[in-house]
Amino acid sequence: MRKSIATVSVSGTLPEKLEAIAAAGFDGVEIFENDLLACPLSPEEVRSRAADLGLGIDLYQPFRDFEAVPADVLAGNLRRAERKFRVMERLGADLLLVCSNVSPDAIGDDELAAEQLRLLAGRAAEHGVRIAYEALAWGRHVNEYLHAWRVVRMADHPNLGTCLDSFHILSRGSDPIGIEAIPGEKIFFLQLADAPLLAMDVLQWSRHYRCFPGQGNFDLAGLTASVLRAGYAGPLSLEVFNDVFRQASAERTALDGMRSLIALEQSLDGVRHPAVPAGFAFAELADTGTLGGLLTALGFARTGAHASKPVELWSQGEARLLLNSRAQESHDGPALVAIGLDSPDPGGAVKHAGSLLSPVLPRERAPEDAPLDAIAAPDGTEIFFCDTAWLADFGQGAPVEGSVTRIDHVALTQPLHYFDEAALFYRGVLGLRPQESLELPDPYGLLRSKAMSSPDGAVRMVVNIAQVGAGHHPWQHIALACDDVVATARRLRAEHPDLLLPIPDNYYDDLEARYEVDPELRHLGVLYDRDGRGGEFLHLYTVTAGRVFFELVQRIGGYQGYGAGNAPIRLAVQHAGA
């Protein structure tokens, strides 16, 4: 399907926006009026700039507060419209978005609205322009998409149709199945935006928090399916107002928008996700010698070394960590650089990721090495899709049994501008499902956190962004599933007490006030959480080494969370020690 995007969705001046949008592979744009008004190029120049870039101008928008007004206001509105039609002719745009009237002076009379829109459509026809009438969620009288359609049908003019905007429909909780009552040829345009569920004024929600399909909580695929079932054959067009996108790179935002539309199309086409990983194959850390001691203390052993690279394999149970002394550490020391995922079809997984515009990484490898297919996550972390062949490169070490059984989850701290992009990446490329989204206090700001999991829980990722001031530490961590955190903590407390993150006694005073827990937890520095269904969570943290620390976690009784309530305690202790 044809793919478009409104210029307001990306940052920059209008020429910069057009270039970024074209580079991302879009077919067309909606010209947002303010972008044109602020542009020194004439409409003719914008038209030819767009044409040179291979972009059609699919829509000009918005035209506000037109319909259902007293006669004297109508005259001025028609005069205003005539001027806009002339601009559109110069621009080569033939579709104008008219938003439902929000003025307190608008009259609640559908017949009047229809009559005036019919008049407008007639004038538009003289300029070869068609009108797409849209119900804003905060329209004065018309704020439901079916109401807008009723008015359009009453007006009954070939140059008048409706524009559907997923945000305006879904933010009000309207059921999009009613779209199937609209003849496809009367749906003149479809604007797509997702959004997180937020309890706030819908206007503010719309103006600041929209995001691309798949990044929020709306069912865009369901809505789009209804639009297609109605017979719509126009473009899928993104229209996003987002405070973060406004500040981000236009190229990156446009590419992410394109990714979201490809993913949406794939889900509509019933493309099955080929790449849901079955577990973590490994996590790879840049390390020049710091981590061996910590891993040994945790019960890991060095079970292999790469045949041709300075990379060691450390194992315990099914948990495998690669220590790479050639990869780049952070300026503070060790850093997480790559994640290996057990994939039933590594080649298919990379191909799927490529179809979603993820950068596929070149592999420099010795001729005898196992092929490893890798892509880059939004923050640059390398993601490898593995079968078991890669292990052969590290020799045949004896298995190491201990209390750690496997990697439970990996937590990555993202730059602010990549948070929504990362959510879409882990969902679209890896097939993870969003779990909880949280905001946690940090001593110097807030940590926003989004957890995602494969359907069976075998792969869990936590994506964080730290909105903090001075003293920002973008920690990453690897959480290791452990079948007896208390016993392991006892051993660590006895043998390596300095490796455990010290948990304040005050935490335990509170914990013991809330739950009847074993007093030994306090002595050991083990943290505890309980969910509403009786599930329990025992966990402990190591001190940090560079950007990295480890967590041992034990899930009891179906606990699905991450002990998020304890994270502020951890952050405060880490900051105090940093």
Q: Which residues are annotated as a binding site for a divalent metal cation?
A: 134, 165, 191, 239
Judged by CB, which is closer to a copy of itself: 191, or 566? Answer: 566
Check binding of 443 to a copy of itself (CB under 8 A): yes
Determine if residue 12 is left, alpha or beta; phi over 0 gives left, psi from -120 to 50 gives alpha, anything else beta: left
H helix runs in 24-136, sequence order: 33-37, 43-52, 71-91, 110-126
Q: Are 299 and 485 in contact (CB under 8 A)?
A: no
Q: What is the DSSP letter of 470?
A: S
One residue of 71, 364, 513, 533 binding a copy of itself per CB under 8 A: 513
Q: Are 174 and 145 in contact (CB under 8 A)?
A: yes
One residue of 43, 176, 277, 299 binding a copy of itself per CB under 8 A: 43
What is the helix (H) or strand (E) element at residue 538, kind and residue range?
strand 536-541
Shortest distance (Å) from residue 577 CB to a copy of itself: 9
CA dist., res. 540 & res. 548, Å (int): 14
Q: What is the DSSP letter of 194?
A: B
Q: How many residues does the chain have?
A: 578
Determine if residue 296 is left, alpha or beta; phi over 0 gives left, psi from -120 to 50 gives alpha, anything else beta: alpha
Residues at the binding site for Mg(2+) are 409, 477, 551
Check binding of 173 to a copy of itself (CB under 8 A): no
One residue of 71, 104, 173, 470 binding a copy of itself per CB under 8 A: 470
Check binding of 532 to a copy of itself (CB under 8 A): no
Helix (H, G, I), strand (E, B) or coil at 93: coil
The identity of residue 302, as a single letter, is R
Check binding of 87 to a copy of itself (CB under 8 A): yes
One residue of 48, 204, 217, 296 binding a copy of itself per CB under 8 A: 204
Query: Cα angle at 457 between 452 and 459, to 5 degrees?
Result: 65
Check binding of 203 to a copy of itself (CB under 8 A): yes
The identity of residue 180, as a single letter, is E
Q: Strands of 279-286's sheet, edge to edge?
A: 301-305, 311-316, 319-324, 279-286, 335-342, 382-386, 373-376
Q: Using CB under 8 A, which of the segments 34-42, 117-125, 216-224, 449-457 binds a copy of itself?
A: 34-42
Binders of a copy of itself among 288-327, rule CB under 8 A? Answer: none
Binders of a copy of itself among 126-155, rule CB under 8 A? Answer: none
Q: Strands of 404-414's sheet, edge to edge?
A: 433-442, 445-453, 460-468, 404-414, 476-482, 548-556, 536-541, 527-530
Check binding of 578 to a copy of itself (CB under 8 A): no
Q: Which two tokens stand for residue 472?
A: 């920002």
Check binding of 247 to a copy of itself (CB under 8 A): yes
Q: Are 315 and 404 in contact (CB under 8 A)?
A: no
Judged by CB, which is closer to a copy of itself: 131, or 430? Answer: 131
Window 558-577: contact mask with a copy of itself (x via CB under 8 A)? ----------xx-xxx-xx-
Count Cβ neighbours within 10 Å for each residue of 147-162 and write b for 16 or more, e otherwise: bbbbbbeebebebbbb
CA dist., res. 546 & res. 486, Å (int): 26
Query: Which neighbouring-strand residues pair with 567?
Result: none
Check binding of 445 to a copy of itself (CB under 8 A): yes
Q: Using CB under 8 A, which of the segments 7-15, 21-29, 92-100, 154-162 binds a copy of itself?
A: 7-15
Check binding of 438 to a copy of itself (CB under 8 A): no
One residue of 385, 507, 541, 550 binding a copy of itself per CB under 8 A: 507
Shortest distance (Å) from residue 241 CB to a copy of itself: 9
Check binding of 251 to a copy of itself (CB under 8 A): no
Q: Using CB under 8 A, which of the segments 78-86, 262-270, 368-376, 536-544 binds a copy of itself?
A: 78-86
Check binding of 509 to a copy of itself (CB under 8 A): yes
Closest CA to 113 of 67, 160, 162, 65: 67
Judged by CB, which is closer to a copy of itself: 283, or 573? Answer: 573
Check binding of 79 to a copy of itself (CB under 8 A): yes
Instruction: Determine the size of the site formed for a copy of itself (CB under 8 A).
Output: 59
| Contact footprint for a copy of itself (CB under 8 A) | 11-13, 16, 33-34, 36-43, 79-80, 83-84, 86-87, 198-201, 203-204, 243, 246-249, 417, 441-446, 467-470, 502, 504-507, 509-510, 512-514, 568-569, 571-573, 575-576
